[in-house]
Amino acid sequence: MLELSALEYYCEVQSRLTGVCIRLYRDGETKDLIAIYGNNTLEHDYDILPIPLTQDSFKGGSTISLYDESQFILGRVVSERDGRVLLIGPARMSELTEQDIDFIMNKYGLPKTLQTSVSSFLYATPVMPSEQFFMLLSLFNLIVNDTIVSAKDIWKDDDPKPPEEDYVETVDLEHHRSSGEYEETIYYYIRNGMVEEIENLHYEGYQGIVGALGPNQLRSLKNSVIILNSLCLRAAISGGLDADTAYALGELYVKRIENAGSLVELARLSQIIKRDYAQRVRQVAVPEIDNLYVLKATEHIQKHIYEKIGARELASVVGVTPEYLSVLFKQTLDLSIPQWIARQKILEAKKLLRFTDKSLAEIAALLNFSSQSYFQQQFKKIRGITPSEYRDKYRKGFRAN
C-alpha cells in the first residue's frame, strides 16, 4: 500500500496519461474528498449528474466495482487497509451522439438549461476501450491492495453463461466481410478451436470503440457485436461445427445482444461469444479426454497441424517416453499416435477442400503428407471417398442449398 503522497502522485500521473478523471476519498461513503485529478471540465462538472457514488450503486466485488451506464462507466477501487476510495472515470467506449445526450437528460430528469453543461461534461470524458478501462482499475487495485485482479476477472463478474442449446429456427444473420487483421485472427482462432488464444486476444481498437453503426453508441455497439457473432458463426462452421447448431446458437446470441442494456454488458458478451464458438469447434475436433498427457498431446497436434509431427516430439512436449505415450493413446482413444495425427490432418484437409480452391498437391504439401498419392490414400481410408469426390459432393450440396 502506497503512502498517501505517493498515491496522490500516482493518481496524477495516471490521469495525465489516460485522460481519465480520478477522485480520491478518505471514506467509503465518498463524502471526505482528498483530491481530484484530471480534465478541468470533469473536475468542475463531475457532480452535474445525480449519480449515487456509494458502494450500493456499484456492481462487482468488495474492492473493485463498476457503475455501468449505457453511455459511460465509472470504476470504484476500495483500499482494504484504510477504507480509502478511488473513483475512476467516467469513460466512454464509443463516440456520443445527440440522442445519447437526450437520453441522459431524460433519464436524470435534467432541465434543458443544463444541456450545454451536460454535453460539455460527457464530451470531456475520454473514449477508452472497456478492456483498457478494466486494466486501469486492475492497476489501481494492485497499488492500494497489493493484489492482482486481472482485467479479464473484472469483467467476468456477473458474466452470463453461454446459452443452452435449443432447436429454434435459424435466422439469416447479417453477412459482413471483414478484412481487418483482428477479424482475420478471430476467424483463424475459432476455425481451429484455439480457445486459449481467443481468451488472450486483445485489440483495444476493437473492444468497444466502433464507428457509426447506429443512431447512438449502444445501438452502434450492438450492431458491431452482431457482426462479430456472424463472423464467429461462419468461422465455427468452417471449423467443422454443424451448421444447424451454429445458426441456432447464432440466433440465441442475437437475442441476447438485443436484450443487453449497457456497453459493459456487450463487451462481456463479445468475449463469451468468441470463447463459446471456439470451445464448440474444439469439442468437434477433440473429444472429451480424461488423460492429461493425451489431452496435452492432442492439443499440441491441433496447434501444429500443418507441421510434421511424430511420437517423439509429442512425448517431449508432455514429458513422458514415446512408448508410454503410445500406450496411453491406445487406451484413451483406441488409436495409435500416427492414426490420430492422420485423422486430424484429414479433418483439416476437409476444411481446405470445402473452403479453398487449393489443389490436392498443395493441400498434401501444406499438411506435410509425404506425397499427394499418400494423402489421397489416407483420405479415402479414413473418409471412404477420395478428396476429389468429397470436394465435388460438398460443392454440389452447397449449390443445391
Domain ranges of the chain: 4-151, 181-285, 292-400
CA distance 401 to 397: 6
CA distance 363 to 263: 43
Q: Look-up: residue for cell 430528469? A: 109
Give me the mean pLDDT over the 146-153 stretch. Answer: 78
The reported pLDDT for the residue numbered 399 is 42
The reported pLDDT for the residue numbered 70 is 59
Q: Which of 55-59, 138-142, 194-198, 316-320 has the lowest mean pLDDT?
A: 55-59
Put simply, whether the predicted model's pTM sits higher than 0.75 gets the answer: no
Given a cut of 50, whether residue 133 has pLDDT beyond it is yes
Give me the mean pLDDT over the 118-125 stretch. Answer: 79
CA distance 377 to 282: 26
Number of other residues whose CB lies within 10 A of the CB of residue 252 = 18
CA geometry: angle 134, 261, 100, nearest 5 deg: 90
C-alpha cell at 216: 447512438
The reported pLDDT for the residue numbered 186 is 86
Given a cut of 60, whether residue 123 has pLDDT beyond it is yes
Q: Which of 16-25, 89-98, 227-236, 392-401 has the lowest mean pLDDT?
A: 392-401
CA distance 176 to 225: 11
Dihedral over Cα of 198, 199, 204, 209: its sign: positive
Tell me: the pLDDT tens digits for 356-372? Answer: 889 999 999 999 999 99
Given a cut of 60, whether residue 216 has pLDDT beyond it is yes
CA dihedral 111, 115, 120, 126 (to 10 degrees): 80
The reported pLDDT for the residue numbered 106 is 72
Going from the C-alpha of 311 to that of each of 300, 362, 394, the distances in angstroms are 11, 25, 33
Separation of CA 170 from chain center? 24
Q: Are 226 and 233 in contact (CB under 8 A)?
A: no
Phi-psi category of 373—alpha, beta or left, where left has phi over 0 and alpha has psi -120 to 50? alpha
Q: At what angle do helices 322-333 and 311-318 cross, to 10 degrees?
A: 90
Q: Which of 5-9, 151-155, 367-371, 378-382 has the lowest mean pLDDT?
A: 151-155
Given a cut of 90, whether residue 207 has pLDDT beyond it is no
The reported pLDDT for the residue numbered 83 is 84
Number of other residues whose CB lies within 10 A of the CB of residue 106 = 9
Given a cut of 70, whether residue 168 has pLDDT beyond it is no
Given a cut of 60, whether residue 169 has pLDDT beyond it is no
CA distance 236 to 192: 8
The reported pLDDT for the residue numbered 174 is 33
Cα R_g (the chain), whole angstroms: 26
Give me the mean pLDDT over the 133-149 stretch. Answer: 87
Dihedral over Cα of 329, 335, 338, 342: its sign: negative
Residue 239's pLDDT band (cuts 50, 70, 90): confident
Q: Which of 109-118, 144-153, 380-389 has the highest mean pLDDT?
A: 380-389
Q: Which of 5-14, 166-175, 293-302, 332-341 has the lowest mean pLDDT?
A: 166-175
Given a cut of 70, whether residue 160 has pLDDT beyond it is no
Residue 374's pLDDT band (cuts 50, 70, 90): very high
CA distance 97 to 101: 7
Given a cut of 80, whether residue 95 has pLDDT beyond it is no
Nearest to 199 by CA among 274, 138, 287: 274
CA distance 148 to 143: 9
Residue 380's pLDDT band (cuts 50, 70, 90): very high
Mean pLDDT of all residues belonging to the chain: 78
The reported pLDDT for the residue numbered 393 is 80
Residue 286's pLDDT band (cuts 50, 70, 90): low
- Kindly report the CATH class assigned to 4-151: alpha beta
The reported pLDDT for the residue numbered 45 is 53
CATH topology of domain 292-400: Arc Repressor Mutant, subunit A (1.10.10)
Q: Which of 96-100, 197-201, 293-297 has the lowest mean pLDDT?
A: 96-100
Q: Percentage of the chain surpassing pLDDT 90?
A: 18
The reported pLDDT for the residue numbered 173 is 31
CA distance 47 to 121: 10
Residue 378's pLDDT band (cuts 50, 70, 90): very high
- CB-based burial label for 57 (10 Å; 0-12, 13-18, 19+): middle
Tell me: the pLDDT tens digits for 304-340? Answer: 999 999 999 999 999 999 999 999 999 988 899 999 9
Given a cut of 60, whether residue 42 has pLDDT beyond it is no
